[in-house]
Amino acid sequence: MAERDVAIRDLIDAQPDAVPGMAGFLTQMCRAAVGALSASGTGVSVFTADAVRGVCAASDARSERMEEMQFVLGEGPCIDAFDTRTPVLVADLGDDAATRWPMYAPAARAAGVRAVFAFPLQMGTVRLGVLDVFRDTVGALSDDHLIDARTFADVTVAALLDAQESTEEAGNASDIGIGDAIEHRAEVFQAQGMVMVQIEGTISEAMARMRAHAYAESRGLSEIARDVLAGRLSFDRDRL
């Protein structure tokens, strides 16, 4: 294993324990990446084989909101990095970024974020998600930070694929082998199914309706999901 890989794994292992399992490892990875990359926050989002997207882990509460905001709005560096399979490096969330992401860029800037760097988590044709790095100041990543960010991404991919292998050996395989890492997002997926039935539409249309409602009320997607599951919110009386 390369010396840089070992150093980054040591940084991750040195972080305080989070929750058990893969979700805990990813949280530790995000926290370690903040210091190593001179970032203000980091986040990892996963994308399942059927295109369901959800926040998986973040270094802090604001970074988690920045991740979730991309899914609520349906745009942002994370989504572009996943779709194009290439890093999306935005050193300034100013005018050009506002043109590219007319809803996400202004919202991120309002939260104090000035730069975002998104790195796909992939190996060959396998795509698992994206690592996002947030900064409160305008400016590009240095060459060393770029190398370290890619190494964090590679270490994360290796951990996710190891989880896939372990899960399959246990006879309990999931789409991308990180079921425990997205277990806490299950309520969003369950709510999608309920909304799909309510609007008599597709799963994609259900997510679009949930995102629109979250955006209109300036709330998180997970909050909307909990309201749907608890029966406090129904979309069958609010057809578009």
- Using alpha carbons, list the distances in angstroms from residue 138 to 63, 95, 116, 159: 17, 13, 9, 31
Q: Assess whether 187 and 165 both reside in one domain.
A: no
- Domain for residue 220, yes or no? yes
pLDDT at 66: 92
Q: How many C-alpha atoms does 5 have within 13 Å on its Cβ side?
A: 9
- Domain for residue 240, yes or no? no
**Quick one: which of 195, 199, 58, 189 has its CA closest to 129?**
58
| Mean local confidence (pLDDT), 110-134 | 92
End residue of a domain, out of 116, 141, 169: 169
Residue 176 confidence (pLDDT) above 50: no
Q: Please, what is the average pLDDT of the chain? A: 83
Q: Assess whether 73 and 120 both reside in one domain.
A: yes
Give the residue, 145 or 95, on which the prediction is more confident: 145
Could you tell me the pTM of the whole model?
0.74
Which domain range does residue 50 map to? 3-169
Q: Assess whether 97 and 57 both reside in one domain.
A: yes
Q: Assess whether 92 and 193 both reside in one domain.
A: no
Contact 203, 169 (CB under 8 A): no
End residue of a domain, out of 139, 169, 199: 169
Contact 159, 57 (CB under 8 A): no
Q: Assess whether 108 and 226 both reside in one domain.
A: no
Q: Assess whether 22 and 130 both reside in one domain.
A: yes
pLDDT class of 189 with cuts at 50, 70, 90 = confident
Contact 43, 58 (CB under 8 A): yes
Number of domains in the chain: 2
Give the residue, 48 or 30, on which the prediction is more confident: 30
